[in-house]
Chains A and B, each alone.
Chain A
Amino acid sequence: MLEIRNLHVSTEGKEILHGVNLKIKPGEIHAIMGPNGSGKSSLSLALMGYPRYQITAGQIILDREDITYLSVDKRARLGLFLAMQYPVAVPGVSVFNLLRTARKNVKKEVVTALQLQNQVKNSMKNLKIDEKFLTRSINEGFSGGEKKKVEVLQLATLEPKYAVLDETDSGLDVDALKVVSAGINKTSGPKVGILLITHYQRILKYVKPDFVHILVDGKIVRSGDAKLAEEVEEGGYVKFS
């Protein structure tokens, strides 16, 4: 279980999360919805250990291990994954090189380069990513949609225990949204917990959440099932603030 207990997060001396509580069990899909500036992305970055966010109180527990102050790479090796909202380019580092290096670091089972390549190519086919991307520098010159697809490709390849998807749906057209959603659904399963962070309700048509939480001004103000997302669809966030 990934448990977030009373999490307070500050950046540049200003508190942006004021005590967030959340429990994500393997097999569950949680969606966090909220207006712009509510702290959604801050939550995802703080979970992964982004250096510019300080945790001032509270705890993050991953499968009974306290990871609140663990380094970013150690969190990843314990099975936490973050699909970023704005993935950065690393010139000269190919997509395949990154996948292979990352896989080696986060998974114990050894696979040959060929096995990995086959697995990756299969995922790429599902995600409708051209195989040429394997040798391209990661995120360099990628369109917004391509970046998001490659984030999901990494998710599929690294098979984490808990995945945080930060606005993976933003900037996608309907076709890409379907493909990306199918990729997320394929990765999810009884052993994986997913935290889906989104501004819009539309991805929830394709990825069915078990729980929906509304985050406003750095606090979860309501939690419920998938129906809660429909309320947002109808009335916006106004009534929650």
Chain B
Amino acid sequence: MSNLVNVNQSYREKYGFAKRDISVFKTKKGLDRDVVEEISFQKAESEWMREFRLKAYEVFQVKKQPLWGADLSKLNYDEMYYYVRPTDKQSRRWEDLPPEILDTYNKIGVPEAEKRFLAGVGAQYDSEVIYHSIKKEWEKKGVIFLDTDTALKKYPEFFKEYFGRAIPPADNKLAALNSAVWSGGSFIYVPPGVKVDIPLQAYFRINAASMGQFERTLIIVDEGAEAHYVEGCTAPIYTTDSLHAAVVEIFVKKGARFRYTTIQNWSNNVYNLVTKRAMVEEEGTMEWIDGNLGSKITMKYPSVYLRGRKARGEVLSIAFAGAGQHQDAGGKAIHLAPETTSSIISKSISKDGGRTSYRGLLKVIPGAWGVKANVRCDALILDDKSRSDTYPTMQIDEEDVSVAHEATVSKIGEDQLFYLMSRGLNENDATSLIVNGFIEPIVKELPLEYALELNRLIQLEMIGAVG
């Protein structure tokens, strides 16, 4: 990801551009059994995956749209393309990509970031991962970082054991949809004791109009291993809606540690409906850092299932909703074992009629004694047109627990603005500074490059916000 974001450049210039459609294959518009079969056929998959898809499709058909959360009534599944293959082969060298695609990633700054500070990069363009590479030193240590389709062919044993085990197709309608038509995504395996100390990154780009992107990510961090994965996502600005419905399954083994960072910056015509879940074993640690800036509607609640004693889970989320946006985000912590700890911290900002909702679940099952859990959500509302709501749910079925919950909603203070403006900052800069200060506890958790990126993206969002 580039840190060269020029704040005078709009989303339209920097990310919102569309390249001409050079796709080599596209399924027909809409979804039926044939489309699912076609995707499986195109990928020359094994029989069990084909069956898995078809069963999932049946589940998708009977499942109801979620009745809670954001308004999905205008989401029309018949108006989407479910599979768009942009090019015939995946590349390990950027130069080998078609010029339209290479230019897209250059503009976003991915190849440059790879050179400077990443252990490996995957890049997905519409339905397929078109570039993938991992630095030799990590490959030698047995780290696997591949697109999910290739990994399925090379390492089927991992898939038989883990695929669909954290998030079965029947979990929710969108998970069923993803299970039926999934394509692309990342597969990561980190062997026991291996500590990957610089981030692995995937960059997701939707280029085609009315496109559904359904990447599927599976990550296994073996005993005592450590890694950090970062994903970024953008899309062109179209008048028709696109859909991004990913499923991310993570398995953190005993004593392992994994961090998953998302900086989601979809254009404002994308429905972003994502299911993310991590299973954490004894003394393992899972951290979700979830930044939601773009999209029309986001519904995403990264979850930690703390299954082993002393497992730890953390969700840090930032949501920013501008005009026409609804960010319905939060986190879930499910305590299934004694002495597990969790922390959910959510910060949201709404402006220009945007809406943010915090939605969270904290659950402790009977027998999970000694649990410590902390939930904190803060909302900042920048004007009278904007809105923020909080929907926290707690199900605590054990007495020996320590649970703290705190929620605040504040409007940007006239006195804070006056104070900063009296120091020479114009109203926009003063507002930006207040907003950046508000999210600072989360930004400081990011690697420097991403912290800069996030701050600049927020600044970009703030332009024209006031005055």
Contact = CB atoms under 8 A, between A and B. Distances in A.
B424 A92 contact: no
Contacts of A52: 414
Contact of A101 (B418, B433, B438): B433
Interface string B420-440: 111111110110011011111
B421 A76 contact: yes
Given A90-B433, A92-B436, A77 B416 contact: no
A140 B423 CA distance: 17
Contact of A102 (B413, B425, B436): B425
Given A50-B418, A51-B418, A52-B414, A91 B423 contact: no
Interface string A133-167: 00001000000000000000010001000000000
Contacts of B436: 92-93
B contact face: mostly helix, strand, loop, or mixed: helix
B416 A88 contact: yes
Interface string A47-88: 011111000000000000000000111011100011010011
6 contacts: A51-B418, A73-B422, A73-B425, A77-B424, A154-B423, A158-B423
B437 A137 contact: yes
A106 interface: yes
Interface in A6-23: none
B425 A105 contact: yes
Contact of B416 (A50, A72, A90): A90
Contacts of A92: 436-441
B415 interface: yes
A98 interface: yes
B419 interface: yes
Interface of B: 413-416, 418-427, 429-430, 433-434, 436-441
A47 to B, nearest CB: 10
Contacts of A73: 421-422, 424-427, 430
A52 B438 CA distance: 25
Nearest to A104: B424
Given A93-B434, A102-B423, A154-B423, 10 more contacts: A51-B414, A71-B426, A73-B422, A73-B427, A84-B419, A84-B422, A88-B415, A93-B433, A137-B437, A158-B424
A93 B444 CA distance: 12
B105 to A, nearest CB: 33
* Highest count of chain A CB atoms <10 Å: which of B414, B425, B430: B425
Contacts of A102: 423-425
A52 B419 CA distance: 13
A98 B439 CA distance: 16
A90 to B, nearest CB: 5
B422 A72 contact: yes
A76 B438 contact: no
Contacts of B419: 84, 87-88, 90
A76 B422 contact: yes
Nearest to A93: B437
Nearest to B438: A92
A98 B421 contact: no
Contacts of A105: 423-426, 429
Contacts of B439: 92
A76 B418 contact: no
* Highest count of chain A CB atoms <10 Å: which of B413, B419, B427, B429: B419
A101 B423 CA distance: 8
Contacts of A81: 422
A172 to B, nearest CB: 20
B269 to A, nearest CB: 32
B421 A71 contact: yes
A59 B108 CA distance: 51
A98 B433 CA distance: 9
A130 to B, nearest CB: 21
A69 B234 CA distance: 43
A91 to B, nearest CB: 5
